[in-house]
Structures are given as structure tokens and as C-alpha cells.
Amino acid sequence: MKRPELLAPVAGLLIACAAHRQIARYLDCAPSTVTRISVRLGGHAQRFHELAMVRLRGIDEPVVFDHFETFVRSQQERLGIGTAVGHRSWFVYRIEGARYRGTSRRSPRKRALKRPPKPVAPGAVTESTRRTLCFLATKVQRPLELISDDNPNYSTVVRQLDRQLGFPILHRVFPNPDRSPDRDRSRARARDQAMFPVDLLHKLLRHSQSHHRRETIAFGRKSANVIGRTALFTLWRNFIKRVSERRPRPITPAMRVGLTSKPWTWSDVLAERIFGERVCPKVP
């Protein structure tokens, strides 16, 4: 690698919602250099998270699950990222991508200007949910307690796992209620309280990544790159960012689940390259 000294600065600026050309201007390097480093950081974050999950002894808390919806290349290609978050620790246990076709229509002129979207596999959201729950099943000693909204794909997967594998899941469903002023707000408050850990994660993602915002001209070019940057954000959320930045006690989600004894820094995370066959670096 030609510019290893740029790894930590680029990682911090990517989390701070900076685009590649903005980072290149700030660090006085080529935009292509930032792009290559971003891809490298995404792969490192994914392998780091996989090895951290190997070290995790188990999950002893309810898990809140929901899909974070974003776009790739254009609004015609939608990407759902399944996020499983600990209800008490706020630790992100799993992210799983699911590509599916957008519902908006394009005029003949726009269809002629843009190439057709890539084909997507049917049932991608269901399959990503299934992979996530199967992974969580390997980390619990008792029936998994799952909290989600009323997405029908989630209930379908829960029933399939119970029927096919005999894996019991305590599924608590909190529908998205009508929030009109004249409606009862108790159901909305109960839903927001139960889904708060994953809702907070999604808000932080939209706040910290330009291409995830509702009104933006920034779009991720490839699904793999978007997943990689989400993995980098997850690494920062789990190991570096404090649970509360206003409280004096420095506690991270990784400390709550027993993976670390103190908050990490980018230097700690990037101190050693991680390969598929290499064990997780020693926890400081």
C-alpha cells in the first residue's frame, strides 16, 4: 500500500459525511486514492466484524431487527440493509444486504438515457432476514427474543425457522401506527420505545453518510461499496463511538457485550491487517 498513513484520516472523514473529492482536497491526494482506500477500509471492517463475532461468547438480550432502506446508483435500484441491534447494549450484531427493484416509473426518455437496472433475485429481503436469524441462533443459549415491526417477511421467516429447524423465536411485533394528531399516541410510544436502538442506528447512518439521505445528489455506485461503508460505520459505532457523548463515563457497545475493556481508536482498529485465515488481533 502506497499511502498507509491515510487510512485513519480517511476512515474518520468517511464517518464524518465527507465525499471522496472533499477528502482528497483536504488530504491533498487524488480522489482515486480515497476511493481505493475506502474499498480497502470496507473490506477490513467486514472481516473485523466477523472475527469479533467469533470472539463474542453469546447474546443474552433481546435483538431489535429492521431493514435500513437506501439506493444504489439511482432510485431504481434499492438496497435494504438488515440491521440486528442489541436492545440493551446497542451493539450491532449483524448487517445483511438485500437488493430489490424500485417501485418508481421512468419516462421513455430516461429509460433511453440510462442502462436498465441489474436483475435482482426475488425474495431478497426474506433471504437476508433468514441469514440474520440463523446467525443469531448460533449465539443464544435460550429462545431468541426478536423485536421488529409488522413487516410480513419477518413473520414468514420466523414461522419457517420454527417449522423447518425447530428453532423457537419469541417474536414481538410492534406495528407502525397511524400518527395523526387525533389518534391514540400510546401505540406509537410503545413502538418507538421498543424499536429505539435500531431507529437510532438508522438516524445516525442517514446523518453520517451523504448517499443515505432522503434528498441528495450522492449515490453509491455499487452495492458492495455501500455495504462496505456501512460495515465501517458499524465498526465505528460498536468499538469507537461512546454510547452517550454527553455522559462523562466512556462506554461503547463493545464494552457492554464484553468484547473490549475500553473505547478503541482508529489506530487500534487499523493496527493490523486482517485476512480470512488470521485470528482476531489481541484486545488491548
Beta strands, E only, 30-185: 63-72, 74-86, 92-101, 144-148, 169-173
Mean pLDDT is lowest, of 11-20, 126-135, 177-186, for 177-186
Contact of 94 with 84, CB cutoff 8 Å: yes
What is the per-residue pLDDT for 281? 44
The CATH code of domain 4-269 reads 3.30.420
Q: Is the pLDDT score of 167 beyond 90?
A: no
In the chain, where the domains are located: 4-269
Q: Higher-confidence residue: 76 or 191?
A: 191
Q: How far is CA 250 from the centre of its chain?
A: 23
172-200, pLDDT tens digit by residue?
999 988 887 777 788 889 999 999 999 99
42, 61, 96, 172, 199 from 46: Cα distances, Å = 6, 23, 11, 29, 22
DSSP 170: E
Q: Which residue has the cell 389518534?
A: 183
Tell me the three cell numbers of residue 74: 439511482
Tell me the three cell numbers of residue 204: 445516525
* CB neighbour list of residue 179: distance below 8 Å, 6 or more residues apart: 185, 188
186-245, pLDDT tens digit by residue?
888 999 999 999 999 999 998 888 776 666 666 677 888 889 999 999 999 999 999 988
Q: What is the mean pLDDT of the chain?
A: 86
pTM: 0.86
